[in-house]
Structure 1
């Protein structure tokens, strides 16, 4: 009888483990593996009812200007041998300044195109990488900013070594914001002068917990824990490692955090917590009635003014 109960118990445990592994692999495919088309939780569209013709013209002109550029293609061999791609727009003024524009989750370098004219007009050379697992860069998983921080250091070194850049600004959106925030906690060359983070999340685990609730109505335990273990095996990191909130504690650079106060994709409280935790000189702009990475689109002129004010201090 005892032997039979033991067999039943072992069978039940094996069945449950199999189910958990299956579920973990499913969520790995949905959240970490490259190529998944799962729909993220989305917020309602926002519009700027107060936008005037001049404001709309600024963004339209910026889009047109970017569409007419012919960037140089740069490559980087990452620390784990992946070949990463980036576009480089060299400023005709022979400036020694550069900005690295870092796109968000399941986006690509061209999605940062709206910002290029703004920085070009201010004398910056512009580097627009495809993050690992995105666009034309290699990689079969999304790094959520963690492994990407090391890739960014590679791009920084390339700008300094190959182009003699003396002043570098990092500007990221969403997961790109998380990436530049995580980079801020590393030992960086003196040429890196400032960081701009628009709509970044505190930690990967908190963001996935938020998405899990909205997409599936499911609790985070044990799904995220199992998926984290599978991610460690398949992609080389645990979810718990991926934390902007811890990295910014070591920041020593001027930091400008932007977050819409109507952001439901990456909740606004995350931007506030990052600001509170960050070291160094820091500013926080909570943009009224604006959703996820919509500040430049909705408040174009104010956005440019605030970035100008921030950059003038570095």
Structure 2
């Protein structure tokens, strides 16, 4: 009984630690100067605030729509990282806008201006993004050409999306340092931060989260989703990533059977590939979408 109570207490603690939106002491609070400059740009660029209702929920979700300076059908939908917001993606929004693309940048459930009291880790959010995609198509038209782009949790989000029945307008995907599954990421962080083994705690936390957040954490595998992907996919990962171990991207790359490329960025830690290789990063990402946009 004591063991059971102890496991229950630990599961609830780690659910609060990992799944409830709040200040996270294990995350850096430093904002890079390049991002700060882009955030100032984002405040003043012409844009619209879009809203949507979460899939299978009454949550009010919010996104920024930044139209291209010149009318175009080419659009990139951006997915942000864990405990980030659309404003944290300002640097990417800016370079996609400069390349002549429309950009849609949502706040995920429990993040930024969107409602929610739990973190969906991209898996719960993937169904929300399907609704955002329909909103883009309604705005741009049936001739829309859409690229999906995400970093960290956002990278997992677009990989989860790759396994869904996507609208034909989605033509290419770029994922940067997304994880193989929620359970794998929880296990990696449990080991790194607390030297904890995967069993029995991580399955217990996953069960707790599945009950409290009302989505199946056990089913949240990007590997399974990638087995069904048909869109060209560029994988990016830092060679020195310890937050989402670099070994994960090799498993993801092997699971995908579409047209694909893998870029491991030397000396880059987690979500630092753009910082370490800004010119090459933008060239590769923009080039990937340009290759598949008409």
Task: Give the TM-score taking structure 1 as reference length.
Answer: 0.86
Count of residue pairs the alignment pairs up: 288
- 1:122-143: CA deviations, max 9, x gaps? 2211111001111110111001
- 1:218-244: CA deviations, max 9, x gaps? 112111121111111111134321111
Indicate the residue corresponding to 1:66 in structure 2.
42
Deviation, 1:67, is: 4.3
Deviation, 1:279, is: 2.1
Contact 1:232–1:238 (CA<8 Å) still a contact in 2? Answer: yes
1:63-212 alignment runs, 5 A limit: 65-79=41-55, 80-164=57-141, 166-212=144-190
C-alpha separation in 2, matches of 1:98 and 1:146: 22
Indicate the residue corresponding to 1:24 in structure 2.
11
Deviation, 1:305, is: 1.6
Please tell me whether Structure 1 or Structure 2 has the larger radius of gyration of its CA atoms.
Answer: 1
Q: 1:245 aligns with which of 218, 223, 226?
A: 223
Query: RMSD of aligned C-alpha atoms?
Result: 2.1
Is 1:232 matched with 2:210?
Answer: yes
1:214-229 alignment runs, 5 A limit: 214-229=192-207
Is 1:256 matched with 2:261?
Answer: no
C-alpha separation in 1, matches of 2:208 and 2:282: 42
- 1:37-88: CA deviations, max 9, x gaps? 3425x7xx9x9xxxxxxxx9x9887565334324211000112121100011
Contact 1:59–1:300 (CA<8 Å) still a contact in 2? Answer: no
- 1:162-194: CA deviations, max 9, x gaps? 332611111100000000000000011110011
Greater RCO (Cα-Cα under 8 Å, separation 6 or more):
1
Indicate the residue corresponding to 1:4 in structure 2.
none
Q: 1:124 to 1:300 in 2, by over 3 A?
A: same
C-alpha separation in 2, matches of 1:143 and 1:63: 25
The runs of at least 4 consecutive aligned structure 1 residues that moved more than 4 Å come to 58-64
Q: 1:22 to 1:159 in 2, by over 3 A?
A: same
C-alpha separation in 1, matches of 2:261 and 2:39: 28
SS of 1:250's partner is: coil
SS of 2:198's partner is: coil
